[in-house]
Chain A
Amino acid sequence: MFDFLFEYRGLIVGTIFIALIATVIWAIFYGRNLIRTERTDAVFGNPERALGGWHWVITGVSAILIVWIYFSWDAARAFNPKAANELCQVGKLSSAINPIRSTFPLDDGFLKGTSLLVRENKQLNGLADQVERLGFSDAEKSKAKETIDLMRKAIIGMTSPEFLDSATDAKFKEIVSKIDGLTSKLADQNYPGDPTAEQIAAAEKNPRWGDSGNEIPAAPASPRGYKFDAAAKEMKTIATDFSKIRNNNSNFLAQVEKLKGQIASLDTLVQASPGTDELLVANRADFVKGLTRVLRRVDDGNIFPPDALNNVQSALVNLDKEQKNQQGGLRYYDALMMPGGEIRAGSNSCSEQGSGRWLPKPSDTLRTFARISDPEIGYKGYPLLWYKMKPFGEMVDFIVPDFISSLVPGHYPRHDTNGIVTPNFKSKVRDFATGNFESFKVPMPSGHVWDSLLRVLAGLFFGIILGVPLGLFMGLSRFSKGFFDPLIELYRPVPPLAWAPLILTIFGIGDDGKIFLLFMVAFAIMVISARTGATGTHLSKIHAAHSLGATNRQILRKVILPNSLPEILTGIRIAIGVCWGTLVAAEMLAGTTGIGFVENVARKQSDYEIIWTTIIILGLLGLLFDLMMRWVIDKFIPWRGKG
């Protein structure tokens, strides 16, 4: 339905966005002008200052829409639909740099080698402390201490520049020259040359931004895009090369070999003299294991002399500068128009992160809403708000209890020798009661919203017709108050959702359980409000009715009931709200239809557009209920509070 409009979403959203900003500016000036001309609100604290102000209502609504459009990046998409695709290529380069970047304190933090050293030293200190406490023999003790000392020496073998292999140094130099080469390529206008036919084909096959959820067209499609895409590919190989470099100098390797032997001999020594204390034995084994683990990590050779990587780092800084430079205006567009997140590149795709992800764009939400509103599509094969032709027999089956056929005298027909069954009156009654007959069809509501709505109304209905009379009697009779009060006060304070698992288990995941749960909620509220209403009847009204000759029953119906109406209607209003909330939660717990069910499924699939759509539907329905109740209250109890 909205697909036609969706073609022009950029134009529409952009126009609306600008119009909204214009509205806010207009309203501010209008408001200022109003203050200058109307000086009714001179004194602070005068409640009249809060009167009027419809232009602020417009401003408020506009502000919400602006925030929504802005933070969902709908405005960004409207004004520059290609930006995301280019930023995706930038993201590719940035994630290609990341493996090298993580080695350096580029942004803020320690050099990777420094962090490793801090950790290993801490481990070694801990192990050294343990030596005294493990009940080692003197031989074992000295062996252990020796091992730890050796380990420290091995580390020094890595951090000392004099031991660094010239081959390793050469590898670093090669990396540096490759990075520098990439930097100058980035600066070159002609890099990487014309796109290949495949690249152009891929670019043409790109979906548009937002056509499928939060995914962003990944194939490069602009000169800047091609450049960053190519650079990302080159950077990936450089990063792979870099990550292969190890500080395996001969001195260090010799130390490691020695250490391995040392630990092995310590292990045999410890194994040879097992104590009787099981805990101590386990601790000793752990000690040896700890030493082995530290050695394995040190053996990775990721620690270099402190200044060995300086050139790589400065080359990387230059590259980073150049890629920022090459982004040009895109960088500012990203910062300004895509707040609260960034575009991140995965292995094969790019996606929105942050508010662009969890806050769906208004235009997308509208389209999703239009799509699932279509009764042919719906959600999980069930429409939102539609009707379905159902045979009248089904309703008869629902209303007429099946056992009435058993009340008819006689027996059900039995097949005869020819295998033919002749129906009799009793079996015909049974066919009727079970709805097993040809009948016309009637339209019945069908859809997630209907289901939720009807459940609430059913629960509310039973709550009202049972709760109000009981409430009135509790307000009037000592017996009913005393007898029923404990019952209600025992279950009412329990949050309805705490009942849900129990009730849903007893009644099943169908409608019965939910309606009963809502009935419980509505019943308690209605009892209490009707009771308050009955108790609050002015005594002189009762006296007046008595002296006008009304019987007790007449007083109940003609005086106490109407007098309690304000409380009862307020109770209904509250009950609707609470029932609505309880229902949605109950549908999330169990069920196969309903708005809560829709939202729960969407949550599992991280489908933010559906989630927001259900939130908006729920909000609008709640508002609708409240407006309806306000109308009812104005219409039926205009005398409220005026007695």
Chain B
Amino acid sequence: MSDLVAKDLSMVFDVDTGGQVHALNNVNFTLKSGELLSVLGPSGCGKTTLLNIIAGFNHPTGGAVYLGDEEIKGPGVNRGMVFQQGALFEWLTVSENVDFGLRMKGTDPKKSKKMVDEWLDIVGLAGFGDIPTYQLSGGMQQRIALARCLINDPDLILMDEPLGALDALTREKMQSLVLKIWKETGKTIMIITHSVEEALLLGERLFVMAPRPGRLHKEYNLPFAERGVTEDTRDIKNSEEFIETREEILTMIWDMEEEIMGQV
């Protein structure tokens, strides 16, 4: 296992109307192996840009990201991605989606069949293997996306608002699933989210980012994720400590939003 290190990460976009936007400005952090990080911030603060750079889809204009000893220069199997809307291949069945990565590597079909069954079992979709994905609900599709990403055994899992499009009930179930997987596999996970509650619950560490220029505003170390593995997530959400932190962060983000509005 290896750590994720971001050094002086900057990203500057040219804008059509002239001028430049600093999506990221001198971002530095280290994410240790096995840590669960959630990233929160108002829209336009560079969360997704950060994620895309780590995934290797974009190249930073300044600085670099290292996973272990290697600098990230492009997309790779060692970093799995889960997107807001499954991004499943709807022309494939559930199991064909899940073993997509294995097939690309040319894994023995017998072996991959066994792995697919195992992972479908873990995400709670045992027996759904032969169903076309477009027939499944949004929550089920996200479970497939999780399984598809995990079956490749990546060092780091990147999630871009993975639960954003789900209804409240499914969302809570999926939050528990993410915690369960984190604990059982010990993977490093980085989650980007809009929801403060989700960020608190799914973050051993939590970055609050600020816009213009995009930067790390504040970092928290939180106990809720650890507790969520064993305790009921709803009890945690109702605990005083949770509510206090939530209000603090909400106020912070509100202030940022107002600041943005003022600038405009």
Query: Across the interface, which residues of A come within 8 angstroms of B75, CB to CB?
Result: 543, 546-547
Give A563 to B90 CA distance when docked, in angstroms. Answer: 8
Inter-subunit contact A540/B83 (CB<8 Å): yes
Inter-subunit contact A642/B90 (CB<8 Å): yes
Q: Is A541 an interface residue (CB 8 A)?
A: yes
Give A643 to B83 CA distance when docked, in angstroms. Answer: 14
Q: What does the 1/0 interface line of A158-172 toward B look like (CB < 8 Å)?
A: 000000000000000
Chain B stretch 28-78: residues in CB contact (< 8 A) with chain A: 55-57, 75-77
Give A33 to B262 CA distance when docked, in angstroms. Answer: 68
Output the nearest chain B residue to A545 by Cβ-Cβ distance. B100
Output the nearest chain B residue to A554 by Cβ-Cβ distance. B104
How near does chain B come to A137, taking the closest CB pair, in angstroms? Answer: 88
Chain A stretch 515-545: residues in CB contact (< 8 A) with chain B: 538, 540-541, 543-545
Q: Is A556 an interface residue (CB 8 A)?
A: no
Give A642 to B138 CA distance when docked, in angstroms. Answer: 12
Query: Across the interface, which residues of A come within 8 angstroms of B132, CB to CB?
Result: 638-639
Query: Across the interface, which residues of B come within 8 angstroms of A559, CB to CB?
Result: 89
If the complex has contacts A540-B83, A639-B132, are A563 and B101 also in contact, measured as CB distance less than 8 A?
no
Q: Which residue of A541, A543, A547 contacts B76 across the interface (Cβ within 8 Å)?
A: A547
Q: What does the 1/0 interface line of B151-191 toward A look like (CB < 8 Å)?
A: 01010001000000000000000000000000000000000
- With an 8 Å Cβ cutoff, the count of chain B residues facing the other chain is 30
If the complex has contacts A562-B89, A565-B91, A638-B132, are A543 and B81 also in contact, measured as CB distance less than 8 A?
yes
Query: Across the interface, which residues of B come within 8 angstroms of A538, CB to CB?
Result: 87
Inter-subunit contact B104/A547 (CB<8 Å): no
Inter-subunit contact B104/A549 (CB<8 Å): yes
Give A540 to B105 CA distance when docked, in angstroms. Answer: 20
Inter-subunit contact B87/A543 (CB<8 Å): yes
Inter-subunit contact A563/B91 (CB<8 Å): yes
Q: Is B233 an interface residue (CB 8 A)?
A: no
Q: Is B85 an interface residue (CB 8 A)?
A: yes
If the complex has contacts A543-B81, A544-B81, A638-B132, are A549 and B91 also in contact, measured as CB distance less than 8 A?
no
Give A554 to B57 CA distance when docked, in angstroms. Answer: 17
Inter-subunit contact B89/A541 (CB<8 Å): yes
Q: Is B13 an interface residue (CB 8 A)?
A: no
B56, B84, B89 — which one has the most chain A CB atoms within 10 A of its CB? B89
How near does chain A come to B131, taking the closest CB pair, in angstroms? Answer: 12
Q: Is A280 an interface residue (CB 8 A)?
A: no
Output the nearest chain B residue to A540 by Cβ-Cβ distance. B87
Query: Across the interface, which residues of B come within 8 angstroms of A551, CB to CB?
Result: 104
Chain A stretch 362-403: residues in CB contact (< 8 A) with chain B: none
How near does chain A come to B91, taking the closest CB pair, in angstroms? Answer: 4
How near does chain A come to B87, taking the closest CB pair, in angstroms? Answer: 4
How near does chain B come to A470, taking the closest CB pair, in angstroms? Answer: 22
Inter-subunit contact A639/B77 (CB<8 Å): no
How near does chain A come to B157, taking the closest CB pair, in angstroms? Answer: 10
Give A495 to B158 CA distance when docked, in angstroms. Answer: 52
Inter-subunit contact A548/B134 (CB<8 Å): no
How near does chain B come to A548, taking the closest CB pair, in angstroms? Answer: 4
Inter-subunit contact B80/A643 (CB<8 Å): no
Q: Which residue of A546, A547, A550, A637 contacts B91 across the interface (Cβ within 8 Å)?
A: A637
Q: Is B79 an interface residue (CB 8 A)?
A: yes
How near does chain B come to A533, taking the closest CB pair, in angstroms? Answer: 12
Inter-subunit contact B89/A549 (CB<8 Å): no
Q: Is B143 an interface residue (CB 8 A)?
A: no
Give A638 to B81 CA distance when docked, in angstroms. Answer: 27
Query: Across the interface, which residues of B come within 8 angstroms of A563, CB to CB?
Result: 89, 91
Query: Across the interface, which residues of A come within 8 angstroms of B80, CB to CB?
Result: 547-548
Query: Across the interface, which residues of B come within 8 angstroms of A548, CB to CB?
Result: 77, 80, 100-101, 104, 148-149, 152
Chain B stretch 111-140: residues in CB contact (< 8 A) with chain A: 132-134
If the complex has contacts A547-B80, A639-B134, are A562 and B91 also in contact, measured as CB distance less than 8 A?
yes
List 7 additional contacts besides A543-B55, A544-B88, A549-B101; criterion CB under 8 Å.
A540-B87, A545-B100, A549-B76, A549-B104, A562-B91, A565-B91, A643-B90
24 contacts between A and B (CB under 8 A): A538-B87, A540-B85, A540-B87, A541-B89, A543-B81, A543-B87, A544-B81, A544-B88, A545-B104, A547-B75, A547-B81, A547-B158, A548-B77, A548-B100, A548-B101, A548-B104, A548-B149, A549-B104, A550-B100, A551-B104, A554-B104, A558-B89, A562-B91, A643-B90
6 closest Cβ contacts across the A-B interface?
Answer: A546-B75, A549-B77, A548-B101, A540-B87, A642-B134, A639-B90
